[in-house]
Amino acid sequence: MHDLPPGVLEWVAQIGGGEVTTLYRHVARREAWVVDVRRADGTLLEGFLRIERDARPDGPWSLRKETAIIEALGGTAVRVPVVYGWDDQHSCALFQRVRGRADLDKLDDGARQRAVYEDFIDIIAALHTLDIDALHLPAMPRPATPAECALGELDLLLAHWHGFLATYHDPLLTYGVQWLRRNVPASVARVSLVQGDTGPVNFLFDGREVTAVIDWEWGHLGDPLEDLGNICVREFWNPSGGLDGLFARYEQASGIPVDPTAVRYYRVQQQVRGMIPIHAVTVNAHPREPVAWYLAYRYVGDRATCEALAEAMGMPPDRPDLPDDDEGDDVVARAAQYALDHDVVPHLGDPLARSRAADVGVLVACLERRRRLGPALAERERDELGALLGRTPASVEEGLRALDAAVAGDRVDEEGLVRYLTRRAFRDEWLWAPACALYPGRTWAPFS
């Protein structure tokens, strides 16, 4: 059974020149399907179907644009999947299902892990030295200054989420945007095609080599060092052996000088850009979304953003003392978790259903923990907000709105603000521990 729009499978069969014999939903953030087409001569097309249900074909991050970028890179030194076809009517694309896996962080062979990472870095160096005028790229803004390189995608994102941000008051996001505008890198070596969200998980590998660079949703023209900041972020979320020596290898392969200050800037840029939609999803979550994972992205991500800001500002991160958690758990929540773990998940054959059931368990644990520990933590927040604002707010929500207004009006000490935001982020990560355990022990890897 499937819920694909009428006509999509017929289109896939036509593109593949045969009959669809395999179809199942791929477990991923964006909707995708594994599909096989058997031809009359017995050969098999192994495909990967992507579909964009609420399509905005002319949008900056559309599947149509992403597909066009991948098509343009075909035949270059950048390994990408073959594009078998694009359908305007249903806003879907059929790609080659490339051999390989994406979980470099799960590899237990350090030498092989390093070999794959080095191959990937060489591919990124090749990407950044491509002649963008010789590629048949879709229409994209071409930045002419360091500020346009650093802020172009950020401004697009802010415009896209304007409605959400107009009524959402989070001082970390507000300050993060301000900081990015004030600290644009002084120079850019060249304008390149950048993936915009590159690193572990966004490429496939087999053996000791990369088989395809995937996920070009945020591809655009910009400063190549932005992708190095992106790699730092991806290494944070998916630790794959560290970054030691990889950027020196990149510099040698590309001829593009690596400025560590600019890389730290783009770490913050990627975090702020990524956290705006993550906050929106967690505030206005659709039941179809993997909410447990988005909660992990938000609360681990807020802490990562604060640490990246602090390091870029030359400040040590300010870790708070955390409350004792010695009150036990909730018998109802424990019963629900037991039922899921023992009576439901083991009997589910569909991978997506198993994933969704596991998410439910995480959400139940988060609700229980928030009910039990949230009030005491809120009192600490009110006290710290009072120290920053000069008055104790009636609630955490009211205090955050007031602090956000102070940040927007440049009426707050930046160092004190970042120290508070970092402590708040550590506390939130602790409170939402069942979700954050999906990404345990994440730290920023040193780079050189």
Distance of CA 72 to the CA centre of its chain: 24
Residue 175, phi then psi, degrees to nearest 5? -70, -40
Alpha helices in 5-78 (DSSP H): 8-16, 63-73
Q: What is the mean pLDDT of the chain?
A: 93
How high is the pLDDT of residue 328?
Answer: 64
Look at residue 339 in the predicted model and tell me its pLDDT. 72
Is the pLDDT assigned to residue 203 strictly greater than 90?
yes
pLDDT at 351 over 90: no
Query: Domain coordinates of the chain in residue numbers?
Result: 8-96, 104-284, 289-448
Tell me if 444 sits within 8 A of 242, measured CB to CB: no
HSE at residue 94, side-chain half, CA atoms within 13 A, is 22
> 70-102, pLDDT tens digit by residue?
999 999 999 999 999 999 999 999 999 999 999
- 219-249 pLDDT, tens digit each: 999 999 999 999 999 999 999 999 999 999 9
Domains 8-96 and 104-284 share a fold: no
Question: Distances in Å between the alpha carbon of 331 and those of 335, 359, 364?
Answer: 6, 19, 12
Under the banding of pLDDT at 50, 70 and 90, the label for residue 166 is very high
Q: Is the pLDDT of residue 382 over 80?
A: yes
Query: Please, are residues 447 and 251 in contact by the beta-carbon 8 Å criterion?
Result: no
8-96 fold: Phosphorylase Kinase; domain 1 (3.30.200)
Please, is 82 exposed, middle or buried when counting C-beta atoms within 10 Å of its C-beta (0-12, 13-18, 19+)?
middle
Q: How confident is the model at residue 145 (pLDDT cuts 50, 70, 90)?
A: very high
The reported pLDDT for the residue numbered 126 is: 98
Q: Is the domain covering 104-284 a CATH 3.40.50.2000 domain?
A: no
